[in-house]
Amino acid sequence: MPQISRKGNAMPSSPIRKLVPFSDAAKKEGVKVYHLNIGQPDLETPPQFWEKLHHLDMKVLAYCPSDGYESYRKNFAAYYNRIGIDVSFQNFIITNGGSEALSFVMMSCLNDGEEVIIPEPMYANYIGFATAGNIVVKPVSCSIENGFALPSVADFELMITPKTKAILICNPNNPTGYLYSREELEVLKAIALKHDLYLIVDEVYREFLYGGKSFFSALNLSAMEENVIVIDSISKRFSACGARVGAVVTRNKSVLQTVMKFAQARLSPPSLGQIAGEALFDLGPDYYSGIVKEYEHRRDTLVKMLNQIPGVVCPNPGGAFYAVASLPVDDADIFCQWMLEKFRYQNATVMMAPASGFYVNAASGKNQVRIAYVLNVEDLQKAVVCLAKGIEQYNSERP
């Protein structure tokens, strides 16, 4: 019998999606499943997106250029310029979502066996993309006790070896919601320049900021033109995840030329997503303020209710729409599956992402979960009540 590759066997399952068969089985039984496991916004995609598609006069759905339509890249760059980031459309390569952008950047910048330093818990697919590229992830641990703030310079430098090529962060962070300040980015800049590293920053949640906080893009770090690479996407910003349109943004021409070779090999990014997505960059401040106000209300509701459950610890996220919570359970992987298979409260249950998959060492997140607050407040409240009942029953049944 032919054997699966070592690389295939090494690929981790997604902590966000691996429990889907259990949620599907629950739904077939007529159970209401509150999905807190995945960052799929429930807010409507702006009508401008659909209007552009409805009025599209196209006879053939053809390939687009490998780096994306020029008109789309120009609109993307104009949006950057409006928010104070000075870039040209020539600094963009459009990709199949932010995921492909990350994959292309990793393969373009790191050789087999070279290392990327990432604060953990980290977005689980960073580990997957690194595994696919035979790249070594060197985790720098963040603590739930201080809200997952950036580790110290000393902690980073302990991880640096001759094989280290890059630092990768998500800002605001997925899965913790932590918002890195300008001062923290300046710390990373100093490390990157001292050790000649790429600084790769996933900025797809740029607009989702709470408590009056402001965002500072890595692209605005001085003297970092050759070091900074930004990953972006319209998925979260415009609730258009299925459009699958992301981007690599950098002033480093060598990186762009290399990413372009990977882009040419996969032919083209989505044509329809770009055509319809062009209209979204013209949405004004009122659009962003409305969605941020809604998510901030959800965050406040979730964090308050979670911290009222005995034994639960949940820091207050500064951005994005995720939170990592520590639960009073012996094993979050077992608990999350148990919730879907065994537990019902008012014929409902809750689906969460076990946080073990967001750590290189799974044991580090053994009693943690990532929760995406992408449900309306009423459903979010019901979900947390259901979770509290589940924790109580699970612990009463444990030996």
Supply the DSSP symbol for 219: G
Q: What local confidence, expressed as pLDDT, does residue 15 receive? A: 73
- Give the pLDDT mean for 197-219: 96
What would the two tokens of residue 10 be?
């090494």
In this prediction, residue 244 carries a pLDDT of 96
* Cβ atoms of 263 and 57 closer than 8 Å: no
Which range among 4-13, 60-69, 104-113 shows the weakest confidence by mean pLDDT? 4-13
The torsion of the CA quartet 245, 167, 125, 177, rounded to 10 degrees, works out to -80
- pLDDT of 7: 84
Confidence check: pLDDT of 128 > 90: yes
- Residue pair 245/97 in contact (Cβ under 8 Å)? The answer is yes
pLDDT at residue 285, as a whole number: 84
d(CA 204, CA 390): 33
Share of the chain above pLDDT 90, in %: 91
Average pLDDT over residues 6-21: 84
Mean of pLDDT values over 105-129: 96
What is the percent of the chain with per-residue pLDDT over 70, rounded to a whole number? 100
Which residue blocks in the chain are alpha helix, DSSP H?
6-10, 20-28, 47-54, 70-82, 97-109, 124-132, 153-159, 182-195, 253-265, 271-277, 285-307, 332-341, 377-397
Q: Please, are residues 85 and 220 in contact by the beta-carbon 8 Å criterion?
A: yes
Parallel/antiparallel/unpaired status of strands 198-202 and 228-233: parallel
Q: Which comes out higher in pLDDT, residue 363 or 393? A: 393
pLDDT tens per residue across span 326-337: 999 999 999 999
Question: Mean pLDDT across the chain, nearest whole number?
Answer: 95
Residue 142 near residue 93, CB atoms below 8 Å: no
Question: Looking at the predicted structure, is the pLDDT value of residue 149 above 80?
Answer: yes
State yes or no: pLDDT of 151 exceeds 90.
yes
Confidence of residue 361 (pLDDT cuts 50, 70, 90): confident
Q: Does 192 have pLDDT greater than 90? A: yes
pLDDT of residue 120: 97
Domains detected in the chain? 6-44+285-397 (3.90.1150.10), 59-282 (3.40.640.10)
The Cα–Cα gap between 335 and 352 comes to 10
Closest CA to 144 of 332, 370, 335: 370
- pTM for the full predicted model: 0.95
- d(CA 319, CA 209) in angstroms, rounded, equals 4
CB-based burial of residue 353 (10 Å sphere; 0-12 exposed, 13-18 middle, 19+ buried)?
A: buried
Least confident of 267-276, 357-366, 384-393: 357-366
Looking at residue 280, its pLDDT comes to 94
Q: Nearest 5 degrees, angle CA 250-CA 126-CA 105? A: 30
The string of pLDDT tens digits covering residues 92-102 is: 999 999 999 99
pLDDT of residue 42: 85
- The whole-number average pLDDT for the span 164-179 is 97
- Decide: residue 284, CB within 10 A, 0-12 exposed, 13-18 middle, 19+ buried: exposed
